[in-house]
Amino acid sequence: MAAKENQLNHLAIIMDGNGRWAKARKQPRFFGHQAGMENVERITLAANHLGIKVLTLYAFSTENWARPKAEVAYLMNLPVRFFDKFMPTLMANQVKVNVMGDLTQLPAKTRQVVERAMADTAANTGLVLNFAFNYGARKEIVGAVQTLARAVQAGRLAPEDIAEQDVGQALMTAKFGPYRNPDLLIRTSGEQRLSNFLLWQLAYAELAFSDKLWPDFDEQDLMEFVTNYQGRHRRFGKIDESDS
Ligand code: IPE
Ligand code: IPE
Ligand code: MG
């Protein structure tokens, strides 16, 4: 029996390797972040054309605050430059922007810009471009636990009734409904770890790793990973029908 092709609805990418990309060119790290930002547009448009519904990009982790002050400042300003430059293209392609993470800790200007990007694109009907920015999965799960604890305290929920669905519903991805969990995770730059990204949501995702540094990862690479994903056999804990 021919394997049914997997539908790729939600693609998540850990965009890693900007610093090494710059270093290889004897340039400062921010040069790599600039190139990485430009690549976000390229991959977003390619994902849109492939019919992907949600593209989640890990752009800044809760651990990235520990980098040198100047680099953090540069990264905090990237959304300002990104939306300044690419908003017309995003609008023209019906891309809907979402930013998930603790926005309250962002510099005022950054927060303002991302909130405006979400508001301006709210009615768009194409790909959802979801940035994980000041995002950490453990922090997200702690937030979900607090939400559930409040519901219990208020008498709206009994502890023994807490189900997986309730946890999923309290996470920042809940708004993506049937597409809340990534089908495929790609990490660039050769590293093979999650770095505190979507720990709950990736439980059954297919994992793929590219040795390319993020600024070099192009549409062709994306196509190859998507094609490879479509040929994989996702079993979700079951056995093949033909084996039963
Ligand atoms: C990914 O590139 C971007 C962010 C984490 C913000 P890096 O900055 O981690 O680049 P490398 O891993 O040092 O090469
Ligand atoms: C993960 O990359 C975070 C982002 C891509 C935003 P890092 O470069 O911060 O991860 P580690 O430190 O190599 O685990
Ligand atoms: Mg890195």
Mean pLDDT across 165-185:
98
Question: Could you say which of 16, 39, 98, 183 is catalytic?
Answer: 16
Ligand nearest to the CA of 191: 2
**Contact 15 CB / ligand 1 (< 6 Å):** yes
Ligand nearest to the CA of 58: 2
Q: How far is the CA of 112 from the centre of ligand 3 (A)?
A: 26
Q: pLDDT by residue (tens digit) across 145-158?
A: 999 999 999 999 99
Can you give the pLDDT at residue 31?
98
Mean pLDDT across 25-37:
98
Q: What residues does each domain of the chain span? A: 10-135+182-234
Distance of CA 154 to CAs 55, 149, 160, Å? 36, 9, 15
Active site residue 102: no
Model confidence band, residue 234 (pLDDT cutoffs 50, 70, 90): confident
Distance of CA 103 to CAs 18, 79, 177, 199, Å? 23, 12, 22, 20
Does 178 have pLDDT greater than 80?
A: yes
Q: What top-level class would CATH report for the domain 10-135+182-234?
A: alpha beta
Question: Which strand (E) or helix (H) includes residue 209?
Answer: strand 206-209
Q: pLDDT by residue (tens digit) across 78-90?
A: 999 999 999 999 9
Active site residue 16: yes
76: tokens are 């905090």
In percent, the amount of the chain with pLDDT more than 70 equals 98
Can you give the pLDDT at residue 1?
46
Q: How far is the CA of 111 from the centre of ligand 2 (A)?
A: 21
Question: Could you say which of 48, 64, 134, 181 is catalytic?
Answer: 64
